[in-house]
């Protein structure tokens, strides 16, 4: 049997096993694991404990960042910090709608930017921002769409963008120079979404709104909110200014320190262990996904399925690749979640490299499009979570419809960034 036939057969078995698992309502991560196992057996490697274990470790460091950053965000929320910020901004700016909309966009961008997960944005501040938006007269369906879209953008936003990190790792490219290529489009698309969906609406009475928001505890102030971020930035600053006399601690430790500072400064008495447990419970499906994506990619690499996808992608006509990005990327995200990055992202970046495009800007552009898949079946994790958290009760289809205009904006920005990546190369600062 030649290599193409062999790898194609293994791919078919993997897809079939995944589909069957999904049909029996198993979660995406378990379905990916079953797909990987089936591929391993079909490829003639039996059930290789070594490859399963090694693949599962692929994203260990990213998982640690994920856990510690989310713990930090959760402590900030439970200490009343997030409520304090939202109430404060609302009180100060409720007469100036434009400013308030911009600030709410920034608040939504922060948790996902730090953790790399849109779902963390939704959980940390989705509910509160939704309350403010509804009180500003924005319809619930549009509110849900705003939270979902900006949560997606926050995941793509720097410093932690898992799609960009995982793809870059897959092509031996440093995760360096991504800050502005990711930051600018995320801010532009985020603010545009906020204004397009949130500009119209008759605001409610200020007192009514404040009553419906969670209370900010006595003793909370701006200093207590900003200090933990200063600690985090301080670590980065120290490490970059005196790299050869600073101990290497790694990002997870830095986030853990910020979490501890936030915990110590909290005006409310918090149960650290309970919040840690809740954090891990909350993240379990996402940690599971990253772990199983690692296994899946390892088995695809082992059996040559990854090579088949890579060689097929890099030998396709360029126009077809460009024209199908806006379907392929969200669809791969819907099926594989972050697995889309190593499986689809890596061969695309290889192709862009050989075309002489700027791989950093092109990959950043792709990272803006990927999050759209989080609203689509079969997974739709973040879409459903958003609908829950914002309290939107009507049909899911209506919610998707409300997302269309911002989605088109994101697709346009992303595709233009890919096509004109060479001209935008200056954004990387390299």
Question: What residue ranges bind another protein (CB under 8 A)?
Answer: 2-4, 6-7, 43, 49-55, 57-58, 60-61, 168-171, 173-176, 236, 239-240, 243-244, 248-254, 294, 297-299, 301-304, 306-308, 310-311, 314-315, 342, 346-347, 350, 354
Yes or no: say if 238 and 41 are a contact pair by the CB < 8 Å rule: no
Q: Which is nearer to another protein, 127 or 181 (CB)?
A: 181
Q: What are phi and psi of 340, to 5 degrees?
A: -60, -35
- The least distance separating another protein from the CB of residue 301, rounded to whole angstroms, comes to 4
Q: Which is nearer to another protein, 62 or 402 (CB)?
A: 62
Q: Which is nearer to another protein, 3 or 98 (CB)?
A: 3
- The least distance separating another protein from the CB of residue 64, rounded to whole angstroms, comes to 8
Helix, strand or coil for residue 126? helix
Q: Which is nearer to another protein, 139 or 307 (CB)?
A: 307
CA–CA–CA angle 196, 197, 201 (5° rounding): 110
Yes or no: say if 115 and 158 are a contact pair by the CB < 8 Å rule: no
- The least distance separating another protein from the CB of residue 163, rounded to whole angstroms, comes to 16
- The least distance separating another protein from the CB of residue 311, rounded to whole angstroms, comes to 4
Burial of 393 (0-12, 13-18, 19+ CB in 10 A): exposed
- The least distance separating another protein from the CB of residue 293, rounded to whole angstroms, comes to 9
Q: What is the DSSP string of 238-307?
A: HHHHSTTTS----HHHHHHHHHHHHHHH-SS---HHHHHHHHHHHHHHHHHHHHHHHHHHHHHHHHTHHH
- The least distance separating another protein from the CB of residue 331, rounded to whole angstroms, comes to 22
Q: Which is nearer to another protein, 86 or 305 (CB)?
A: 305
Task: Assess whether the previous peptide bond of 316 is cis (omega < 30° from 0).
Answer: no
- The least distance separating another protein from the CB of residue 299, rounded to whole angstroms, comes to 7
Q: List the end-to-end C-alpha distance of the chain, in Å, as a whole number.
A: 46
Q: Which whole-number Å values give the CA distances from 116 to 63, 65, 164, 229, 351, in the listed order?
A: 10, 9, 10, 16, 25
Q: What are phi and psi of 132, to 5 degrees?
A: -65, -45
Q: Which is nearer to another protein, 127 or 294 (CB)?
A: 294
Sign (positive or negative) of CA dihedral 389, 394, 397, 402: negative
Q: Taking phi first (over 0 means left), then psi (-120 to 50 degrees means alpha), and beta for anything else, what does residue 380 get?
A: left
Q: Which of 2, 1, 10 is nearest to 301 (CA)?
A: 10
- The token pair that represents 309 in the structure block: 């996808």
- The least distance separating another protein from the CB of residue 355, rounded to whole angstroms, comes to 10
Q: Which is nearer to another protein, 299 or 380 (CB)?
A: 299
Q: Which is nearer to another protein, 171 or 405 (CB)?
A: 171
Q: Which is nearer to another protein, 175 or 180 (CB)?
A: 175
- The least distance separating another protein from the CB of residue 87, rounded to whole angstroms, comes to 33
Q: Which whole-number Å values give the CA distances from 157 to 172, 187, 237, in the listed order?
A: 21, 8, 20
Q: Which is nearer to another protein, 202 or 240 (CB)?
A: 240
Return the half-sphere exposure (C-beta side, CA atoms, 13 A cut-off) of residue 267: 16
Alpha-carbon gap, residue 216 to 80, rounded angstroms: 5
- The least distance separating another protein from the CB of residue 236, rounded to whole angstroms, comes to 6
């Amino acid at each position: 049997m030649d290599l193409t036939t062999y790898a194609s057969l293994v791919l078919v078995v993997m897809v079939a096993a995944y589909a069957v698992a999904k049909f029996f309502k198993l979660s995406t991560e378990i379905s990916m694991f079953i797909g990987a196992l089936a591929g391993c057996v079909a490829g003639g490697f039996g059930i290789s404990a070594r490859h399963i274990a090694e693949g599962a470790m692929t994203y260990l460091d990213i998982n640690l960042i994920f856990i510690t950053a989310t713990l930090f965000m959760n402590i900030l929320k439970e200490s009343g910090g997030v409520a304090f910020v939202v109430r404060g901004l609302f009180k100060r700016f409720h007469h100036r709608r434009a400013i308030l909309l911009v600030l709410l966009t920034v608040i939504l961008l922060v948790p996902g930017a730090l953790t790399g997960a849109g779902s963390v944005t939704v959980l940390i501040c989705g509910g509160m921002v939704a309350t403010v938006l509804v009180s500003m007269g924005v319809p619930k369906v549009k509110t849900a769409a705003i939270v979902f879209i900006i949560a997606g953008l926050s995941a793509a936003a720097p410093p932690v963008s898992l799609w960009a990190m995982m793809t870059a790792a897959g092509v031996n490219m440093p995760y360096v120079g991504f800050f502005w290529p990711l930051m600018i489009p995320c801010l532009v698309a985020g603010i545009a979404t906020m204004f397009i969906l949130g500009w119209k609406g008759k605001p409610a009475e200020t007192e009514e709104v404040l009553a419906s928001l969670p209370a900010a505890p006595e003793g909370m102030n701006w200093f207590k909110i900003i200090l933990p971020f200063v600690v985090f930035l301080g670590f980065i600053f120290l490490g970059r200014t005196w790299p050869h006399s600073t101990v290497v601690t790694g990002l997870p430790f830095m986030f853990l320190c910020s979490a501890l500072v936030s915990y110590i400064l909290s005006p409310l008495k918090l149960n650290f262990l309970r919040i840690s447990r809740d954090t891990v419970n909350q993240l379990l499906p996402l940690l599971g996904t990253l772990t199983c994506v690692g296994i899946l990619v390892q088995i695809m690499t082992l059996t040559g399925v990854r090579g088949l996808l890579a060689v097929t992608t890099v030998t396709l006509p360029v126009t077809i690749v460009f024209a199908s990005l806006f379907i392929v990327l969200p669809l791969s995200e819907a099926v594989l979640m972050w697995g889309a990055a190593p499986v689809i992202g890596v061969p695309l970046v290889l192709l862009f490299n050989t075309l002489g495009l700027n791989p950093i800007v092109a990959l950043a552009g792709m990272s803006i499009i990927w999050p759209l898949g989080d609203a689509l079946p079969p997974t739709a994790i973040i879409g459903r979570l958003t609908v829950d958290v914002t309290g939107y009760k009507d049909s899911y289809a209506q919610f998707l419809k409300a997302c269309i205009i911002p989605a088109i904006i994101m697709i346009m920005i992303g595709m233009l960034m890919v096509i004109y990546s060479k001209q935008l190369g200056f954004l990387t600062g390299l």
